A and B are shown apart, each in its own frame.
Chain A
Amino acid sequence: MAIQTEYDPDSDRIMAVAFGPQHPGAGHFRIKLWLDGDYLVRSEPDPGYIHRGEEKMSEYRNYIQNVPHLERPVILDSSNILFPYALAVDELMGNKVPDRGQYLRVIMSEINRIISHMYFIAIEGLFTGHTTLITWCMGDRDFWIDLASRIGGARVTFAYIIPGGVRNDMPEGLTEKALKTCDWFEKRMDEYEKIFFNNPLVLARMEKVGVLSSEDAIRLGAVGTVLRASGVKSDLRKDEPYSHYDDFDFDVSSLDGGDSWSRAYVALLEMRQSVRIIRQAFKNIPPGPVRLKLGPQPRVPAGEVYARAEAARGEMSFYLVSDGSPRPYRLKIGSPSFKNMRVLPHLLRNVHVADIPIIYWSLNYWPLEADR
């Protein structure tokens, strides 16, 4: 019997199934699937189960009160969601952030990128049935969380990057510990490559699965690891260097495959670059103050600004409109998961049901970040 590849809602062969929102792999997210036996003919994402109205909430709070709740949509990557917000407010106020503050922003941003990517490849390991990788990654990730908590004072939500700089300086004597962590982690990444990325079983499950061409990636507005795994060298840290990123020597990682394996492997390559940046930042960090004194209710002049930063999942953008009052008139969060969501129905068709979790997670989709 021929497999039906075009969706026909009247056909009695087609069965509509919900993937999530209680599915252990889907997170707080539902994908509507239309199946022909074991074959997926069409899918449609259904987000919104954890929409918290962050944008509306920010209109009721002043620019400093907005800091803690704005990092909640993506607590794995909390420094990188605050980064463009701080850049936006700094730009409107004309703040000149001290050099040490800029370096600490970079350090925290890169540590957060590693924490987030480790979670990503850990769960990708789980979905391919590779339980060693998830236990290794979750364990190793804790060393970075430990390092971040020494700087930011908490394990996940640091509220560290704030308008005018960073909240506090790092403790003395941390450089040695950080450099040791970098050395050790590089050896661990070699082992991840051996045990997972070059594993024939993993390759059989992930290679050529969910292939996204570079034309489609651009057209659909994909960002971050998804875009770079499809052969597009686009990284805001290089393209639009903010916070002294142009001081650091690093490469933009990209792969030409466009498949699920490439999207996972590009995260590993990015972690190697992050380690390079962290090492340089700790060695060259200048002395001096870490932030400007803005007070509890800074005055932000009227104006509008569109600020972007490269978060772990891709381009995080904030559009901020100020009318000169103590609170934002409008704050739009352009989160990378929301941008990458459009890729999901494009990839989740004409595949087998067993490939759904692998393709879905390879997009590094974080439902809370998309729903905001």
Chain B
Amino acid sequence: MREKRLKVTAPSARIKELATLVRDELGFDHPSAVCGVDWIAKDEIEIIYFVSSVSRTGYQDFVVALAERIPRGNPVAPSLIDVWTGVEYHEREGQEMLGVNFEGNPYKGHFLLPEDWNDMPPLRKDYVSPGR
């Protein structure tokens, strides 16, 4: 990634600790996006939290990406709602689109997908869109 973008990959068990540090010590108080990537060849799902800072002067152009990689077969990750409240809906999206179970995020229904969706999570690489 380019200048002013920092990506840190941490083990899933310590992501919350790192996130608290990034928020409190570095001043990255503003959640920007949460993205999940299905690395099917490596049998992993990568979850990335993008956070920026609106309060810390001189760091408004900086984005920190906190990443964790979890096994594809058992995708469980801790929720970071307690650190950044704003990630709540982003995590809901990750839960239904990639099948990640965010422990601590109470919502387990369908958010963007239809209520009766019973296929696999559609942003997984082995899901093929109808007609393709």
Q: 1/0 contact trace for A318-353 toward B, CB 8 Å?
A: 010100000001101010001101100000000000
A5-60 residues at the B interface, CB under 8 angstroms: 47-48, 51, 53, 55-57, 60
Chain B: number of interface residues, binned into ranges: 35 or more
| A47 & B111 in contact (Cβ 8 Å cutoff) | yes
Q: How far is the CA of A342 from the CA of B127 in the complex (A)?
A: 29
Query: Is A285 on the interface with B (CB-CB < 8 A)?
Result: no
| B54 & A234 in contact (Cβ 8 Å cutoff) | yes
Q: How far is the CA of A39 from the CA of B123 in the complex (A)?
A: 40
Partner of B85, one of A308, A334, A338, A342: A342
Query: Is A221 on the interface with B (CB-CB < 8 A)?
Result: yes
Chain A: number of interface residues, binned into ranges: 35 or more
Select the stretch in B13-21, B28-36, B69-77 that faces chain A: B28-36
Partner of A218, one of B29, B38, B63, B88: B29
Task: Tell whether A221 pairs with B1 under 8 Å between CB atoms, given A60-B132, A332-B35.
Answer: no
Query: Is A355 on the interface with B (CB-CB < 8 A)?
Result: no
Q: How far is the CA of A305 from the CA of B63 in the complex (A)?
A: 11
| A317 & B33 in contact (Cβ 8 Å cutoff) | yes
Query: Is B129 on the interface with A (CB-CB < 8 A)?
Result: yes
| B1 & A306 in contact (Cβ 8 Å cutoff) | yes
A20 smallest CB distance to B (angstroms): 15
Q: Which residues of A contact B63 (CB under 8 A)?
A: 306, 308
Minimal Cβ-Cβ distance residue in A for B5: A306
A69 smallest CB distance to B (angstroms): 13
Task: Tell whether A342 pairs with B30 under 8 Å between CB atoms, given A306-B5, A319-B50.
Answer: no
Partner of B54, one of A51, A232, A321: A232
Q: Which residues of A contact B48 (CB under 8 A)?
A: 319
Task: Tell whether A221 pairs with B86 under 8 Å between CB atoms, given A56-B123, A56-B129, A334-B50.
Answer: yes
Query: Is B12 on the interface with A (CB-CB < 8 A)?
Result: no
A97 smallest CB distance to B (angstroms): 15
| A240 & B33 in contact (Cβ 8 Å cutoff) | no
| A342 & B65 in contact (Cβ 8 Å cutoff) | no
Q: 1/0 contact trace for B18-49 toward A, CB 8 Å?
A: 00000000000111110101100000000010
Q: How far is the CA of A239 from the CA of B88 in the complex (A)?
A: 26
A31 smallest CB distance to B (angstroms): 14
A27 smallest CB distance to B (angstroms): 15
Q: How far is the CA of A221 from the CA of B34 in the complex (A)?
A: 12
Q: Which residues of B contact A222 (CB under 8 A)?
A: 86
| A342 & B89 in contact (Cβ 8 Å cutoff) | yes
| A221 & B50 in contact (Cβ 8 Å cutoff) | no
Query: Is A91 on the interface with B (CB-CB < 8 A)?
Result: yes
Which residue, A218, A221, A315, has most C-beta atoms of chain B within 10 A?
A: A221
| A53 & B85 in contact (Cβ 8 Å cutoff) | no
A316 smallest CB distance to B (angstroms): 10
Q: Which residues of B contact A232 (CB under 8 A)?
A: 54
Q: Which residues of B contact A306 (CB under 8 A)?
A: 1, 5, 50, 63, 65
Q: Which residues of A contact B112 (CB under 8 A)?
A: 47-48, 51, 371-372
Partner of B88, one of A321, A332, A342: A342
Q: Which residues of B contact A48 (CB under 8 A)?
A: 110-114
Q: Which residues of B contact A308 (CB under 8 A)?
A: 32, 63
| A51 & B113 in contact (Cβ 8 Å cutoff) | yes
| A338 & B89 in contact (Cβ 8 Å cutoff) | yes
Q: How far is the CA of A341 from the CA of B33 in the complex (A)?
A: 13
| A319 & B123 in contact (Cβ 8 Å cutoff) | no
Q: Which residues of B contact A334 (CB under 8 A)?
A: 32-33, 35, 50
| B32 & A221 in contact (Cβ 8 Å cutoff) | yes
A261 smallest CB distance to B (angstroms): 22
Additional A-B contact list (7), CB under 8 Å, known A218-B54, A219-B86, A317-B50: A51-B113, A55-B123, A218-B30, A219-B85, A220-B85, A342-B89, A371-B112
What are 13 A-to-B residue pairs whose CB atoms are below 8 Å?
A51-B112, A53-B129, A56-B129, A218-B55, A219-B29, A220-B86, A221-B84, A232-B54, A239-B60, A240-B4, A306-B5, A317-B32, A319-B50
Closest CB pairs A-B (n = 10): A221-B86, A334-B33, A239-B60, A240-B61, A48-B112, A332-B35, A221-B31, A51-B112, A234-B54, A220-B86
